Amino acid sequence: MSEESTSLNKYLSSTGICSRREADKWIEAGRVKINDTIAIKGNRVFEKDQVFLDDKLIENKTQPIYIMLNKPPGITCTTDHKDRDNIIDFVNHPQRIFPIGRLDKPSSGLILLTNDGDIVNQILRVENHHEKEYIVTVNLPITEEFITRMSQPIPMLGTKTHPCKVQRLKKNLFKIILTQGLNRQIRRMVEFCDYRVVTLKRVRIMHININDLKVGQWRDLTTQELSELKDRVAISKKHID
């Protein structure tokens, strides 16, 4: 029977210090060692191995954290502390966490943060078709033509958007549900239709709703929210594998 092992980038992300993508960058930069050997991508970690980052031993003593924030406009979804408006300093959580995905700086609403690098990849993987719901105000009255055009694929960034569910709520207000996350996607879609976004707020990610969480506030996911999140991620991963 072979000894169990874990891929190095998964091991690093499981400690809560980074995502798998960040781990790969650290490995490529030669900052990671397994025992006394500089690691390379593709290395695996066995039970008795010791892993070092910049010659400091990494120990996995961190409990998994999953929180939701109602991000105010003006906060940047980056872990870079050089950005004075970074989301990490804004939340000021006692443990190291990072955002799952991003919201544009002018946008507001629901964003998840965690120290679980594995779950980040599964939530963001576009082929999983996880829904994200937004409420958007635009500068002009919304027409049926606008709703129809926004619902259909739109050329963007060398590809096309997936068909979307779009519903007019008020004269200048609509709801849109996406299953992908291209850079500034909704703003680009709206501009393609000769409108301009005035306000943009995300109110739902999959089954997790912002509800009455006030702007600027955050809370831990409930047991039920987290359980369903892990179930959905596990189902998505099974379909891909």
Domains of the chain: 5-57 (3.10.290.10), 66-126+208-240 (3.30.70.580), 131-205 (3.30.70.1560)
| β 108-114/197-205 pair status | parallel
- The answer to whether residue 240 scores a pLDDT higher than 50 is no
DSSP-derived letter for residue 124 is: H
| Nearest Cα residue to 208 out of 194, 191, 226, 190 | 226
Give the largest CA-CA distance in the chain.
67
Angle between helices 223-240 and 117-124 in degrees, nearest 10: 70
pTM (predicted TM-score):
0.75
Tell me how far apart the alpha carbons of residues 149 and 177 are, in angstroms, rounded to a whole number.
14
For the segment 48-83, what is each residue's pLDDT rounded down to a tens digit? Answer: 899 999 999 987 656 789 999 999 999 999 988 899
Give the SS3 label for residue 173. Answer: strand
What local confidence, expressed as pLDDT, does residue 20 receive? 84
- HSE of 167 in the Cβ direction (CA atoms, 13 Å)? 7
- The answer to whether residue 241 scores a pLDDT higher than 50 is no
For the segment 147-176, what is each residue's pLDDT rounded down to a tens digit? Answer: 999 999 999 999 999 999 999 999 999 999
Identify which has the larger pLDDT, 115 or 148: 148
| β 98-99/56-57 pair status | unpaired
Query: Looking at the annotation, which residues are catalytic?
Result: 104
Residues in the chain: 241
What local confidence, expressed as pLDDT, does residue 142 receive? 98
